[in-house]
C-alpha cells in the first residue's frame, strides 16, 4: 500500500521526526486545508518524491559559475539569498522552501515532489494558491522545473532588467514574500546569470562543504553589502548564514555530536546578536570576528565528524530506515 505523502512541516524546529505527527490547517483562499506532518530527518525531505529520499539527501546537481570578477561579492550574496527561505513568504517560508529547493544548486530538481503542487517528480505549479493568495488560480498546471543553466523564457541580459523583474514577481506574487529591495534583486539576478553546467559529472555528492561555502558566501556578501550601505540586505544575509547553520545541525543529529550542536546553536545566537545590535559601526568588525572564530574553532570539529554525519549515504540510509513511515 503506498504510504501517504508528507505535506508541510510547521517550521524548522519541528523536524523531530516520527515523534511528532500532527495536523495543521493551512487557511488559504478557497478554504482548502492541508494535513501536515513534520519533515523527517532533514527539512528538505519534505519536498522529495517517495523513494528518492536518500538520493535527494546525499547527492546534488553540479554547478559552475561564470561571472565578471567585479561581480564576485554580488554573486556570493545572490547564491546565499537563493538558498534562504526568509526571502519567500507565507507557507513556502514556513516549510523552509527556498529557490534552491526547486532549482537544486541553480539547476533543476528531478526529485522535487509536493502533493498538490507537482504532477510528477521534477514538476511544480508555481501559480498554486498554496503559496500565494494573490496569484493562486484554481487550475492545476504543474510544469517541469527548468534548469537555470539553460537559456530559458526569461532574458538573462544584464542590461534589460527583465530577470530582476521576473524574480521580484516570483517572490512577491508567487510566494507571498515581502517586497525585496533593489540590492537583493540585483544579487539574485547576478547569481542566476552566472549559473552554468560543469563539464563532467552532473550529479555529485552533498558535503558539509556545501553548507560551509554558503555560510562563507552569506557572511562575505553581508560584509560587502554593509560596506556599500545596503544594510537591509546585509541583515537578510546574516539570516541566510543562520539558516545554513541549521542545515548543518540537522546532519549532526547523532548523540555523539551533542557538543558540536550546542556550539552551532551558540554560533547562531551570536549572529542574531550581531544582527540586532544597535551600533552599525560594530557590524563589520563583529561579523568578521565571528567568521574567524567559526572557521578556526568549529569548522575543524565539524570536518572531523563528517564521516559520521548524515552527509554520508550510509549514515543517512541507516537513519532513514529507522523513521516510521506513515501508511506502511
Ligand atoms: C516550487 C518550486 C520553485 C521555487 C521555490 C522557485 N522556482 Fe523558479 N521556477 C519554477 C518553475 C516550475 C519554473 C517554470 C515556470 C514556467 O515555465 O512557467 C521556474 C522558472 C524560473 C525562472 C525562469 C527560467 C526561464 O525559463 O528562463 C527563473 C529565472 C527562476 N525560476 C528563478 C527562481 C528564483 C530566483 C527563485 C527564488 C526566489 C525560484 N525560481 C523559486 C519552480 C520554482
- Angle at Cα 317 formed by Cα 315 and Cα 320, nearest 5°? 105
| β-pairing verdict for 59-61 and 64-65 | unpaired
The CATH architecture assigned to 50-201 reads: Orthogonal Bundle (1.10)
Highest-confidence segment of 1-15, 26-40, 134-148, 171-185: 171-185
**Hunting for cell 555529485 — which residue is that?**
204
Report CA 268 to chain centroid distance, whole Å: 16
Higher-scoring residue by pLDDT: 177, 34? 177
pLDDT digits (tens, 9 = 90+) for 45-97: 889 999 999 999 999 999 999 999 999 999 999 999 999 998 988 888 888 99
Is residue 16 predicted with pLDDT exceeding 70? no
CA of 156 to the centre of ligand 1 (A): 13
Q: What single string gives the DSSP state of each residue in 249-304?
A: HHHT-SGGGHHHHHHHHHHHHHHHHHHH-S-GGGHHHHHHHHHHHIIIIIHHHHHH
What pLDDT is attached to residue 278?
A: 85
pLDDT tier at 296, thresholds 50, 70, 90:
very high
What pLDDT is attached to residue 106?
A: 97
pLDDT digits (tens, 9 = 90+) for 150-187: 999 899 999 999 999 999 999 998 888 999 999 999 99
Q: Where along the chain do its domains lie?
A: 50-201
Mutate to test the pocket of ligand 1, among 49, 117, 126, 129 (most ligand atoms within 8 A of CB): 126
CA of 100 to the centre of ligand 1 (A): 10
Residue nearest to atom 10 of ligand 1 (CA): 145
Higher-scoring residue by pLDDT: 8, 211? 211
pLDDT digits (tens, 9 = 90+) for 246-265: 999 999 999 999 999 999 99
What pLDDT is attached to residue 127?
A: 78
Q: Cell numbers for 27, please give them.
A: 487557511
Residues 6+ away with beta carbon under 8 Å from 226: 234, 280, 283, 284, 287
Enter the pTM of the model. 0.88
Residue nearest to atom 40 of ligand 1 (CA): 99
What pLDDT is attached to residue 91?
A: 81
* In the chain, % of residues over pLDDT 70: 84
pLDDT digits (tens, 9 = 90+) for 93-142: 888 999 999 999 999 999 999 988 899 999 999 876 666 666 666 666 89
CA of 113 to the centre of ligand 1 (A): 15
Count CB atoms within 10 A of the CB of residue 104: 23
The average confidence (pLDDT) of the chain is 86
Ligand 1 site, residue 103, Cβ cutoff 6 A? yes
CA of 167 to the centre of ligand 1 (A): 8
Q: Is 2 exposed, middle or buried (0-12, 13-18, 19+ CB in 10 A)?
A: exposed
Minimum mean pLDDT range among 134-148, 238-252, 287-301: 134-148
Ligand 1 site, residue 285, Cβ cutoff 6 A? no
CA of 83 to the centre of ligand 1 (A): 13
Ligand 1 site, residue 169, Cβ cutoff 6 A? no
Ligand 1 site, residue 79, Cβ cutoff 6 A? no
What pLDDT is attached to residue 40?
A: 78
Is residue 310 predicted with pLDDT exceeding 70? yes
Q: Which DSSP letter does residue 112 get?
A: B
User: For residues 163 and 193, is the Cβ–Cβ distance under 8 A?
Assistant: yes
Count CB atoms within 10 A of the CB of residue 190: 23
CA of 244 to the centre of ligand 1 (A): 21
What pLDDT is attached to residue 328?
A: 55
Count CB atoms within 10 A of the CB of residue 165: 14
Ligand 1 site, residue 234, Cβ cutoff 6 A? no
Residue nearest to atom 26 of ligand 1 (CA): 152
CA of 309 to the centre of ligand 1 (A): 31
d(CA 210, CA 105): 10
Identify the CA nearest to 214 among candidates 234, 183, 243: 243
* In the chain, % of residues over pLDDT 90: 71
What pLDDT is attached to residue 117?
A: 87
d(CA 308, CA 163): 41
Give Cα separations from 286 to 24, 218, 232, 239, 246 (angstroms).
40, 15, 17, 15, 21
Residue 237, helix vs strand vs coil: helix
Ligand 1 site, residue 154, Cβ cutoff 6 A? yes
* Helices then strands, each counted (H, E), the chain: 12, 6
Ligand 1 site, residue 195, Cβ cutoff 6 A? no
Amino acid at each position: 500500500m503506498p504510504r501517504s505523502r508528507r505535506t508541510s512541516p510547521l517550521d524548522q524546529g519541528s523536524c523531530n521526526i516520527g515523534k511528532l505527527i500532527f495536523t495543521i490547517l493551512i487557511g488559504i483562499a478557497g478554504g482548502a486545508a492541508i494535513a501536515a506532518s513534520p519533515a523527517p530527518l532533514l527539512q528538505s525531505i519534505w519536498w522529495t518524491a517517495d523513494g528518492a529520499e536518500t538520493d535527494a539527501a546525499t547527492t546534488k546537481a553540479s554547478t559552475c559559475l561564470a561571472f565578471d570578477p567585479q561581480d564576485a561579492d554580488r554573486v556570493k550574496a545572490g547564491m546565499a539569498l537563493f538558498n534562504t527561505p526568509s526571502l519567500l513568504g507565507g507557507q513556502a517560508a514556513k516549510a523552509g522552501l527556498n529557490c534552491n529547493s526547486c532549482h537544486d544548486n541553480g539547476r533543476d530538481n528531478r526529485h522535487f515532489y509536493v502533493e498538490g503542487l507537482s504532477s510528477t517528480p521534477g514538476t511544480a505549479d508555481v501559480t498554486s494558491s498554496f503559496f500565494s493568495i494573490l496569484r493562486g488560480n484554481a487550475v492545476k498546471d504543474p510544469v517541469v522545473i527548468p534548469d537555470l543553466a539553460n537559456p530559458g523564457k526569461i532574458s538573462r541580459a544584464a542590461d534589460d532588467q527583465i530577470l530582476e523583474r521576473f524574480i521580484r514577481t516570483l517572490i512577491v506574487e508567487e510566494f507571498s514574500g515581502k517586497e525585496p529591495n533593489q540590492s537583493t534583486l540585483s544579487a539574485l539576478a547576478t547569481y542566476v546569470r552566472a549559473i552554468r553546467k560543469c563539464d563532467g559529472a552532473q550529479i555529485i555528492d552533498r558535503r558539509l562543504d556545501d553548507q560551509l561555502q554558503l555560510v562563507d558566501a552569506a557572511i562575505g556578501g553581508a560584509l560587502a553589502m554593509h560596506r556599500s550601505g545596503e544594510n537591509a540586505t546585509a541583515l537578510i544575509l546574516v539570516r541566510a548564514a543562520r539558516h545554513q547553520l541549521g542545515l548543518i545541525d540537522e546532519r549532526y543529529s547523532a548523540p555523539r555530536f551533542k557538543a558540536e550542536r550546542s556550539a552551532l546553536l551558540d554560533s547562531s545566537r551570536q549572529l542574531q546578536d550581531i544582527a540586532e545590535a544597535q551600533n552599525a559601526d560594530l557590524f563589520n568588525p563583529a561579523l568578521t570576528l565571528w567568521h574567524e572564530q567559526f572557521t578556526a574553532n568549529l569548522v575543524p570539529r565539524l570536518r572531523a565528524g563528517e564521516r559520521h554525519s548524515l552527509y554520508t549515504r550510509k549514515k543517512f540510509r541507516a537513519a532513514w530506515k529507522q523513521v516510521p513511515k506513515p501508511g506502511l
